[in-house]
Structures are given as structure tokens and as C-alpha cells.
Structure 1
Amino acid sequence: MIYQKYIKKMIDFILSLLGLILLSPFIIILIVCIKIDSRGPVFFKQRRIGINKSEFYILKFRTMKIDTPKDTPTHLLENPESYITRVGKFLRKTSLDELPQIINILKGEMSIIGPRPALWNQYDLMKERDKYNANDISPGLTGWAQINGRDELPIEVKSRLDGEYVEKMSFPFDVKVFIKTVFSVLRSDGVKEGNSQSKIQ
């Protein structure tokens, strides 16, 4: 598919490079706030599943304390709110913790639009996505499932929506997902810390 192999990758690179340049002053401010708020590194790295089930390390701004158990979904933690930093609560609510993934996109590990990358140990999600060939494309910063329920969706529904994206993937559809994502983030749709399908750091 010409769009997926060439045009989409070119758009991802150009937009992520521009985004990194234009947002650099804002990113620096966030870095300073994170360092002032709590001890530990600014960035959080975690093993995720990329295209064709290859592994890579996703980058996020650290939103949790350094003694938080690793590779554990927030909803499986006992009293998850106690692990999230003050700045982290703001970053998660606004999804600004995802900004460093611009670097993942520049490196070609991710796309702007696509299924959200699964954790390396989310075997049930990967198995379900196999039914829809959703593991065969680059994961995204945002996706069709994210604007149709985000963290509230059960794995079966999320995987089916990821499959719908695979079928409908095109420039107009990506633009539609991007625009809807902006409005979804502004409304903080579907983010429920500590709930049954809570956000994974």
C-alpha cells in the first residue's frame, strides 16, 4: 500500500520534526516542572510492541514516583493515586505525558496515527489484534480506538476498532482521527485513573 509504506511515513517524519522544534520551549518547561516536583529521571522508558510484534522502548514524561512497580497497569496497583506525582496528574489528564513519543515517531518506531502500542506482556491484546492484522502496522501516538472510548474499552472492542483502522487507513481518515483526538484530549475523554481499564504508563 503506497500510502502506508511511503506517504504516511514521510508525513510522520515531517510533522514530528516540526512538532519537536515548535514545542521545544514548552517541553523544556515541562522538564523543569517534573524535576522540581519529584526526584528521578524526566523520561519514562517502557518495553512496548511495535510493527510485526517487534519490541521497542516507548518514551513518556515520568508521571509516577520512582518506587512504582514496573510494567504494571495503573488499575492493578493498590491505591494508584498514591504513586502519581502532582505534575504527573496534570500530564496524564491532558495527555501531555505522551509528548516524548515524538522521538519514537522520528526514529520510525511509531506513527502519529495507529493502534496504541501494547505492553510487551499484554499477550491477550496482541492475540486479539492478530485477528484483525492490527499487529502488522506501526503503533500510533493516537488511534481510532482512542477516540472511541480510549481507556474504557474492553480488549475485544479495542482490538476490533484497531482492525477497522487497518481497513480504513488513508490520509483523509488519519486527518479525521487526528482532529477528533484534539477534541477528545481537550475534554479528557475516557481517562479514568485506577479504574478497570485505566491508563498504562
Structure 2
Amino acid sequence: MNSPLIRLLDVVFAIMGLCLLWPVMLIVYFIGRLDSDSPIFSQTRVGKQGKAFTLYKFRTMAVSTESVATHMVDAQSVTKLGGFLRKTKLDELPQLVNVVKGEMSFVGPRPCLFNQTELIEERQKHNVDRVLPGITGLAQVNGIDMSDPQKLAVIDAQMIKVFSLGLYFRLIIATAIGKGAGDRIQ
């Protein structure tokens, strides 16, 4: 997962995505302005080797929503636009910037919050923290969220162990066609 080829593919695909999808991102941004004064959501997340980075997404929840793992958030926090963005995964598009910056990969374990200490410890135990976090991964396409830190860390470690160029493309394609539900909301 830490290969120069994967990094090159990440950068090429992210730049292509930004170039091709900027009109969609612009539309989502302006529609988001009607929903909230700050349509871009940024949050400090745990990156490779525990290093902090700022993750970018389109806002899907009310500004007043508590900064906790998604599975701990009340469904009423999700805005109408946010529900659509989450379902279509358009909320993830700003993470292409994180990929270009080298803070994330297209494929890797989803970055968690620093207050998710049990997940951080499990990932350290399984050496999952040694790779870049990703926009998607094996857990995501199989509907496994962060509500079970032990199970998630094991699946993340399994993905790293069997990682290949073929798996990289399969997970990206599976995500693009809508496989997996992402993090569940209560």
C-alpha cells in the first residue's frame, strides 16, 4: 500500500477527478451554501503513523453536530442535502485534495477521530496505522463501520496483508458503483 506506483496512481486519479468533477463540486458547494453557511466540512483526523491531518468533505450534517464518530450521531443531524450527498458519496469529493496532498490514498483504512481511542489502539496493535488512510477500503465496501473497532481493525489489517494493484482497482470500482453503506447513523 505504500508503493510509489500506488502513490502515482493516487495523484493522477485525484488530479483527473478534480479536473473532471470541478463543475459538480462547484454546484454542490453552492447548493450547500443554501443549506449551511459553511458547505465544506473540515475535521482533524488520524493519519499515517498517528499524524494529524485535516480531512475535507462536503457538509452533510448540521453545523452544531457534535464531533464524534458517525455511528454515534443522531440521524436527525443529517440535512436533506446531506442525505443525498451521503447516498451518492458526493460528500467525499473534497477528499481528492487530501489525496493530492499525500495525506490519504484512494484505498486504505478510513481515517478516524482522535477521540476514537479504542480503534486507534486496535489499529496500532494490527499495524494498520503504518499506511495512509483511504477514501474507501475493504471494510467500507462490505458495510463494516467504526462501531466495532476490533472487527474493523482486523478487516483493515487483512486488506493491507493481501493488498495488490488488482484489489486497489476492485475496491475503487466497488465504491463507485455503490457497494457498501459507509458509516451508519443511528
TM-score (norm 1): 0.85
Q: Distance in 2 between the 1:166 and 1:59 partners?
A: 24
Give the CA deviation at 1:75: 4.1
Give the CA deviation at 1:83: 2.1
Q: Percent identity?
A: 35
Whether the 8 Å CA contact 1:93–1:188 is kept in 2: the answer is no
Q: Distance in 2 between the 1:139 and 1:152 partners?
A: 14
TM-score (norm 2): 0.92
Residue of structure 2 in register with 1:197 after alignment? none
Residue of structure 2 in register with 1:142 after alignment? 136
Calculate the aligned-residue CA RMSD, in Å. 1.8
| 5+ long unaligned stretches in structure 2 | none
Whether the 8 Å CA contact 1:116–1:143 is kept in 2: the answer is yes
CA shift digits 1:25-58 (9 cap, x unpaired)? 111111111112x232121111101111100010
Instruction: Note the 1:21-60 alignment, pairs <5 A.
Output: 21-36=19-34, 38-60=35-57
Residue type of the alignment partner of 2:14: S
Change (3 A) 1:74 1:11: closer
Residue type of the alignment partner of 2:119: L
2:172 aligned to 173, 178, 193, which one?
178
Change (3 A) 1:159 1:57: same
1:66 aligned to 63, 82, 104, which one?
63
Number of residues paired by the alignment?
Answer: 186
CA shift digits 1:71-125 (9 cap, x unpaired)? 2234434xx2332211111111222111100000010000000000011111100
1:76 aligned to 72, 77, 84, which one?
72
1:11 equivalent to 2:3? Answer no
Change (3 A) 1:94 1:155: same
| 5+ long unaligned stretches in structure 1 | 195-201
Residue of structure 2 in register with 1:121 after alignment? 115
Q: Which SS does the other structure have where 2:24 is aligned?
A: helix
Whether the 8 Å CA contact 1:93–1:191 is kept in 2: the answer is no
